[in-house]
Amino acid sequence: MMEQFIEIKTANPDSLLFYRMGDFYELFFDDAREASQALGITLTKRGKHLGKDIPMCGVPVHAAEGYLERLIALGYKVAVCEQTEDPAEAKKRGAKSVVKRDVIRLITPGTLTEDSLLDASSSNYLAAVARVKSGDEGQLYGLSWLELSTGDYGVLALDHLRLGAELARIDAREVIIADHMLMDEDIRPLTDTLRASFSPVPRAFFDGATAEDRLLDYFGLSTLDGHGHYQRVELMAASAILAYVEKTQLGARPPLNPPQRELSGRTMAIDSATRANLELVRTLSGDKKGSLLSIIDQTVTGGGSRMLAARLSAPLAELDPILARQDSVGWFLENSWIREDLLEDLKAAPDMPRALSRLALDRGGPRDMSAIRSGFATVFALMDHLASAHTETSLPSELARAQAALSAMPQELGQLLSNALDDEMPLQKRDGGFVRSGYDESLDELRSLRDESRRVIASLQADYAEQTGIKSVKVKHNNVLGYFVEVTANNADRLMTAPLNETFIHRQTLANAVRFTTTELADLEARIASAGAKVVAIELSIFDQLRDAILASQDLIKQAAQAIAVLDVSIALARLAEERNYCRPRVDDSLAFDIHNGRHPVVEIALQKDGSDPFVANDCDLSPKDSHLHGRIWLMTGPNMAGKSTFLRQNALIAILAQMGSFVPADAAHIGLVDRLFSRVGAADDLARGRSTFMVEMVETAAILNQAGERSLVILDEIGRGTATFDGLSIAWATIENLHEVNRARALFATHYHELTVLHEKLPRLINATVKVKEWQGDVVFLHQIVPGAADRSYGIQVAKLAGLPDGVIARARDVLQHLEEGDRQSPAATIDDLPLFSVSMQKQELVEAEPDALRDTLQVIDPDDMSPREAHEALYKLKALLQG
């Protein structure tokens, strides 16, 4: 047995091997040590190998899914090894022969299909990253992603600057990558920052020469031209995913959609740091609760919840589809009567795509088939309600397409499933009992034999009594003769003489009774004995027939499921807008960004739940003014705890909600399309990569300044606070100038460097804004109102007092502050008139002048008072040499 285990384990070195032994999955050697620690189960031992005890642990087969879920959540891969031979067959080869076993499935984080292992409200993506050299452009990457449980399949070509952002958007559970790329400088940081499990594979998976052929073979196509013009690197990534799926599914082919090529720039680019800062789909601690998604998600179906999360993660950067989505939300907002009817239908909608995937992989059961049947019922109900609505008002384009997809569902298949499937469904198809009575006549007869054998025998006994005229005739059974007819000795002669002797065949004579059999009874006995097995066999055959019929219509079923998700999301966003007084934003191709009485969607709800004061709404106008062609920059000042960070975040979230097609938390909003969103709000140490808080801050700021353009929206909070005061002030100063003159982006810039407020005199698109506060008897009251102007101080000591610092510390801090303010400290603001206006050419000149000066550096380290005559003489010669060199 250990030889067999080692052989199978050698073929699956990167997976924990669940080795089936009776009613347990056992793990041995290092697998056992690792699994026992990960699962908190007992590590024991069994037998010896090379003179040492063999570590072992195991889990019951009936409870295996719970343990698998925990292992997958921790990023492990599991190879499930089952018996593939009847133990009786193994014994024929010898008493000690080992039953044949083999891996029937490889389970990895990105290839799950079971409901028990998946979150119905979240997609579970597998991604692949390919790379090719691209001439002067350097490296070009191909990114492909696949949702095995629904068949969604996408591909995209991009550069290294967008790779992290797109992987963060997709939020894959597992990323496959060629093993030689894993330590590359562009890839290594992603393995630390993304929550995905990275799975290195041989580079043969990414073979560009065979990539297109693999795709054509999988989808049964002669050309891919009908699905788009794919770049070579895109084909490599898409092909690698297929190769990995075929490996993990052991050759089974799930029903995938052909890869949809996503064009660059179609969605708003949001990097991973910005996603984390804004807490779009999960908080900084990794929880869904408290994220923006958790606040806006009012969907009632799994598919709708996944679609909402996808739209939130990838806001559109194209105008027409945004307006189409807004039209759908607005239509349901205006037609609340139909909305509530449809909502009741949607609550009964099953997750058809995931059930379909399990059926295609031969992993599905009767309940998956029942889910498809229930899906037909939901579709027909939705069609009826939409048809009645369509007679009174025209549907917007997105809803009209959804209605067409629902109408395309094959009604014959729905009727077939309704006729064939019973109301109560078992969990496993091998249990039988899922075919409705009356669907198959032969099945009903066998069920009668199996379930009503006593009634059948009694009926046959009555027939024999009538036929023979012997009222005492009995039909009995024992383990030796099986079923037999028994009469008393006095009546036996009648059965042994013609014509009855042709029907009744003598079997046994006893002292007081004689036993007979009949051809009919023998046939009935054989039928009863095999009825149970035949019932299951016929039901399994019917299951296969129904599955084939379902898979033949899988494309139409997927399109209907997509339509159900569209209806669910549109209704959910309409309910959200109605309940929370959201407005329809005006989105266009301009550079406008004008929000009236905007609110933070998450903080607003948190205040309502706490019973706190209502959220204070604020305006934000970054739109170009007068003759300026570019958006404005707001320089925000004010104390901590006053609401600056909330204000910054809420405007970023409003832009995201608007471009995902939702209504927004404001009285009115006008947003010109944002192509890139950057947010640096708060930072923490990145100890794993040796980065301090300030270093993390600078890396994120560098990414913004290197990528932001005029259509970008930039949110920056407290740039430069992680270093010395004058260093930080200088960095913040230069950053503002760069945003104004080079990036020309719409921006919100919060700072405690009040000296920066004088920049508005030289930078025409810079506007000062502050958070209004009120002082009362040495304390500060936060009003959370954003008003024009600049704060004259930060109220840091008052905030420290609110935080509970000891009175003595507060008093001493006030004394020190007064001393510093009265001192002869030069104000950096006083130097503004001496500084020339920023320009790109000036920036280049300063870069030249900032080159290291060896003479100056040497002079700075010389201390004449601490030098001997000889050292001074040597230093003089060194300085002379530097001057001449």
699-729 pLDDT per residue, tens: 888 888 888 999 999 999 888 776 667 787 8
CA distance 704 to 680: 9
Distance CA 715, CA 688 (A): 26
The annotation places the binding site at 638-645
CA distance 702 to 559: 43
Token code pair at residue 306:
């996944």
Q: Report the alpha-carbon distance of residue 737 to residue 846 in Å, rounded.
A: 14
Mean pLDDT throughout 442-463? 83
Quickly tell me which residue has 């030098």 as its tokens: 867
Q: Which are the contacts of 284, defined by CB distance < 8 A and separation ≥ 6?
A: 276
The answer on pLDDT for 67 being more than 70 is yes
Q: Does the CA dihedral 168-173-175-179 come out positive or negative?
A: positive
Give me the pLDDT at residue 777, please. Answer: 59
CATH 3.40.1170.10 fits 2-107, yes or no: yes
- Which CATH code for domain 297-410+563-580? 1.10.1420.10
Residue 627 pLDDT greater than 90, yes or no: no
Q: Which of 108-112, 226-230, 334-338, 466-470 comes out lowest in average pLDDT?
A: 226-230
Statement: residue 479 has pLDDT above 70? yes
Q: pLDDT digits over 804-840, tens only? A: 777 777 777 777 666 666 654 445 454 445 555 555 5
Position 863 scores a pLDDT of: 75
Q: What is the percentage of the chain residues whose pLDDT exceeds 70?
A: 89
In sequence order, what are the residues at sequence separation of 6 or more whose Cβ sits closer than 8 angstroms to the Cβ of residue 108?
A: 72, 77, 126, 174, 197, 199, 248
Give every CB contact of residue 527 below 8 A, 6+ residues apart in sequence. Answer: 446, 449
| Lowest mean pLDDT segment, chosen from 252-261, 316-325, 417-426 | 252-261
Calpha distance 330→394 (Å, rounded) = 13
pLDDT at 697: 79
Instruction: Report, at the CATH architecture level, how domain 120-264 is classified.
Output: 2-Layer Sandwich (3.30)
What average pLDDT does the segment 487-501 reach?
88
C-alpha span between 733 and 614 (Å, rounded) = 36
- Residues 549-558 have a mean pLDDT of 93
Q: What is the pLDDT of residues 251-300, one digit of tens each?
A: 788 888 888 888 777 889 898 888 888 999 988 888 888 899 999 999 99
What are the boundaries of each domain within the chain?
2-107, 120-264, 297-410+563-580, 441-536, 586-792, 854-884
Distance (Å, rounded) from C-alpha 522 to C-alpha 506?
13
Helix (H, G, I), strand (E, B) or coil at 244: helix
The single-letter code of the amino acid at 235 is: L
User: What are the C-alpha distances in Å from 490 to residues 463, 465, 468, 500, 502?
Assistant: 20, 15, 13, 15, 19
Residue 104 vs residues 29, 67, 79, 115, 249: alpha-carbon distances, Å: 21, 18, 8, 19, 8
pLDDT score for 832? 47
pLDDT > 90? residue 594: yes
Joined together, the tokens standing for residue 857 give 């550096």
Spatial separation of the C-alpha atoms in residues 698 and 170, rounded to whole Å? 26
CA distance 304 to 679: 28
Contact 328, 570 (CB under 8 A): yes
Side chain identity, residue 372: I
Q: Among 429, 421, 432, 423, which Cα is nearest to 535's?
A: 432
* Mean pLDDT taken over the chain: 85
- Among 43-47, 387-391, 654-658, which is the least confidently predicted range? 387-391
Q: Are 120-264 and 586-792 in the same CATH fold?
A: no
Give 614-675 as a 3 state SS string: CCCCEEEECCCCCCCCCCCEEEEECCCCCCHHHHHHHHHHHHHHHHCCCCECCCEEEEECCC
CATH of span 586-792:
3.40.50.300
Q: Into which CATH architecture does domain 441-536 fall?
A: Orthogonal Bundle (1.10)
pLDDT digits over 561-577, tens only? 999 999 999 999 999 99
The DSSP secondary-structure symbol of 271 reads -
Sequence ranges of the binding site for ATP:
638-645
Single pTM value for the model: 0.81
